[in-house]
Structure 1
Amino acid sequence: MRLRAVVLVEGLSDRLALEVVARRRGRDLAAEGIRVEAMGGATNIGHYLDRYVPLAVAVAGLYDSAEERFFRRALERVGRHAADLEECGFFRCDADLEDELIRAVGAEQVERIVEAEGRIASFRKLQRQPAQRGRSLHDQLRRLMGGRSGGKYHYARLMAEAVDLDRIPRPLTALLDRL
């Protein structure tokens, strides 16, 4: 299959969540000629744009709100100027994709996922830490996922499988609709 489009995402958890949601929506991105690239961080966007823009394929992606400046600067450098990055095919997650998925699935349901994974005792220990006591369940769950190596990757798949199809976070829906 000829490469038709490339989707650039910051990390492996983003790639996995996107692929799971696409599959659940009846899409096989690889069969459609769409490659999803985990860039290993937002600061690598320029390198990936340099690689794919000259190939004359559609380039789109997801980014975390805090990383918008890297995406804007790199897109402008390759001649893609827009007041809104969505015009260039790049969709912003409020904090990150895990934040979007927790909100879409619901913090209480994500807590049940943590329990089903046999990690509730570890989560309860985290919740008792002084820095976590006053935080919301949503923020505590984000801390759980981001605090361990592989945590984001592990929970991204589970949340992408659990989210109701009519509650898929807007950045994922908009990106898939664009492709």
Structure 2
Amino acid sequence: MARGKRGGVEDLGRFRRAVSAWAVGGGAAEAVDEASGLAGGVRMVVLVEGTSDQVALETLAARQGRDLGAEGVAVVPMGGATNIGRFLDVCGPPGLGLALAGLCDVGEERHFRRHLERVGLTDGDLEGLGFHVCRADLEDELIRALGPEGVRQVIEAQGELRPFLTFQGQPAQRGRPVEHQMRRFLGTHSGRKALYAQALVGALALDRVPRPLERLLAHV
């Protein structure tokens, strides 16, 4: 990016906010102008469902010695996978025409594919377009990579082992596989997914990185 590292990263933050306001807010002139003015400093936009995905990607990149912001890679949480069409219209060929990549859950794969084809991105292979699919979702990928004992250690390190054990004892959770219980527990409180995205990625051995995250970072 043309400016220093700090200025470039701050510009990416402004770009991310402007793009979100444009996509979700219906194209207010101020947001359109700001996003358009900052787009020249953006090398690639990575579209993800939520903040936890953004945190996971940026944390993993840092562990690999990379700073995505300094590289001009804007990881943009969309506030839900159903917003993919709006963000493609803003960031993709109909709008800013930026290079794109992304991450989605397997349940959203057809939805992503349909909107990518609608804007003219028709490789046929999502990975070929830079869009990678989690087997269930991000939490499932991280839990399988770490294993139940590894996740339990992370939960304990966060001071939440007692709440997790209480959660396991709830009637709706009894008898379910521990991996399912852990996945549900991570989504029970606002902000917990992002907290554990950082903690779980921080605990990963770098030779055990889930394939969608590994391949996405290799692409960008």
TM-score bucket of the superposed structures, by smaller chain? over 0.9
1:56 deviates by 3.1
Partners of 1:57 and 1:156 in 2: CA distance:
27
Q: Does 2:128 align with 1:84?
A: no
Partners of 2:91 and 2:124 in 1: CA distance:
22
1:121 deviates by 1.2
Instruction: Find the counterpart in structure 2 of residue 20 from structure 1.
Output: 59
Higher RCO (CA < 8 A, seq sep 6+): 1
Instruction: Find the counterpart in structure 2 of residue 8 from structure 1.
Output: 47
1:74-125 deviations in Å (ceiling 9; x for gaps): 1011011133211211000011111101111221111111112111111111
Instruction: Find the counterpart in structure 2 of residue 137 from structure 1.
Output: 178
Instruction: Find the counterpart in structure 2 of residue 43 from structure 1.
Output: 82
Q: Which amino acid aligns with 2:82?
A: T
1:57 deviates by 2.2
Instruction: Find the counterpart in structure 1 of residue 163 from structure 2.
Output: 122
TM-score, normalised via structure 1 length: 0.96
Q: Which amino acid aligns with 1:13?
A: S
What is the aligned-residue identity percentage? 56
1:34-67 deviations in Å (ceiling 9; x for gaps): 1000000001111111111133321001000011
1:73 deviates by 1.3
Which is higher, the Rg of structure 1 or of structure 2? 2
Correspondence for 1:164 among 201, 205, 209:
205
1:135 deviates by 1.2
TM-score, normalised via structure 2 length: 0.79
Instruction: Find the counterpart in structure 1 of residue 70 from structure 2.
Output: 31
Gaps in structure 2 of 5+ consecutive residues = 2-40
1:129 deviates by 1.4
Q: Does 2:117 align with 1:63?
A: no
Q: Does 2:219 align with 1:178?
A: yes
Poorly superposed stretches of 4+, deviation over 3 Å = none
Gaps in structure 1 of 5+ consecutive residues = none
